[in-house]
Amino acid sequence: MKTATYSAPSNIAFIKYWGATDLDRVLPSNPSISMTLSECRSQTTVRFEPGVRAPDEIFLFDSRDQPVPLTEPFRRGIERHLAAARQRYGIEGCFHIATRNNFPAQAGLASSASGFAALAAGINEAADLGLDPAGLSDLARISGSGSASRSVFGGFVEWPASAEATSARRIAPADYWALSDVIAIVESGGKEVSSRQGHRRAAASPHFARRQELLPQRLATVRSAISNRDLETLGPILEEEAIELHLVAMSSHPPIFYWKPATLTVLEAVRRLRSDGVSAWATMDAGANVHVLCATTSEREVATALSRVPGVLQVLPDRIGTGPRRHEEAVGTAP
């Protein structure tokens, strides 16, 4: 029997994964680029008993390590992941999983990228898979959360798109560029339509094909903006990309509306920050909350401004981070 505990961070996409050429094999229609965060993390303990034929056990804890009931979709997500890992690596034995998020469970922030990256790191060690970082990235996305492939690495990360590209890779380390992601929470519940549904419906949007044509140039600009630490070039693309993701979602069949009125109020506040001379740029994933990217030196000013915006429930300042970490203390054992 072997036990391993890892935490992994969430990430924010600069160029979004939205649409797949093969959703079952989690092959994206386009490459995506993200920044790995530091503070928003999932921590997971995996205990593996080789050869034991018994049902897996899954436990969820809150940020203070108190047990909380599992929702069915949450349980099914982890079960799907374990099944996919067993099949891929011929694992025989039984898993005990204990997991928690350190960010507020009701913050409406996607925890699947951090959750599956932490789970993959735990499975790799507990079941002695011996995977290298690329293998770990592949294992993280195996059950459907493509963005989890990027949370295995710190810094700036690219997940290419091709039948062979099953894993992401780091394009610059976390200490390369001190960027912050100040997250304005405007919706605290989970999203009504999953990203998986969004990927499935994306190609039905009349804007999807045009997006694919525009992406090569946009990807090249983002890569070079990162390499030159050039926020003035990166920022407008972040906003373009987020608007386009939601444009595609809103024009899919049936349409998907993730924004809330306060999403637009925050976008307006970000434009106001810029007219006051602060280089702050917004992006959104498949949800209503707004991630505001800025130099870490502006983080406090941006957080203060966002906390005053009507409709903002909470502001979570986060920043670029170094990726998964190993921990000695198991999840669920705090007194």
Binding interface with ligand DP6 (CB under 6 A): 13, 16-18, 32, 110, 112-113, 145-147, 195-196, 245, 285-286
What is the rounded distance in angstroms from the CA atom of residue 149 to the CA atom of residue 158? 9
Long-range pairs of 302-306 with CB within 8 A, sequence gap ≥ 24: 302/180, 302/182, 302/273, 302/278, 303/182, 305/269, 305/272, 305/273, 305/278, 306/182, 306/184, 306/266, 306/269
Give whichever of 33 and 305 is closer to ligand DP6, judged by the CB atom.
33
Kindly state the smallest distance separating residue 169's Cβ from ligand DP6, in Å. Answer: 15
Kindly state the smallest distance separating residue 166's Cβ from ligand DP6, in Å. Answer: 14
Give whichever of 48 and 146 is closer to ligand DP6, judged by the CB atom.
146
Give whichever of 197 and 322 is closer to ligand DP6, judged by the CB atom.
197
Give whichever of 284 and 306 is closer to ligand DP6, judged by the CB atom.
284
What is the rounded distance in angstroms from the CA atom of residue 229 to the CA atom of residue 295? 10
Kindly state the smallest distance separating residue 50's Cβ from ligand DP6, in Å. Answer: 29
Sheet holding 179-185, edge to edge: 280-283, 290-295, 179-185, 314-319
Give whichever of 235 and 287 is closer to ligand DP6, judged by the CB atom.
287
Kindly state the smallest distance separating residue 113's Cβ from ligand DP6, in Å. Answer: 5
Kindly state the smallest distance separating residue 287's Cβ from ligand DP6, in Å. Answer: 8
Q: Which of 310, 312, 318 is nearest to 186 (CA)?
A: 312
Whether residue 17 contacts residue 134, with contact meaning beta carbons closer than 8 Å, is answered with no
Kindly state the smallest distance separating residue 39's Cβ from ligand DP6, in Å. Answer: 17
Kindly state the smallest distance separating residue 242's Cβ from ligand DP6, in Å. Answer: 9
Kindly state the smallest distance separating residue 149's Cβ from ligand DP6, in Å. Answer: 8
Give whichever of 142 and 286 is closer to ligand DP6, judged by the CB atom.
286
Give whichever of 105 and 330 is closer to ligand DP6, judged by the CB atom.
105
Give whichever of 104 and 190 is closer to ligand DP6, judged by the CB atom.
190
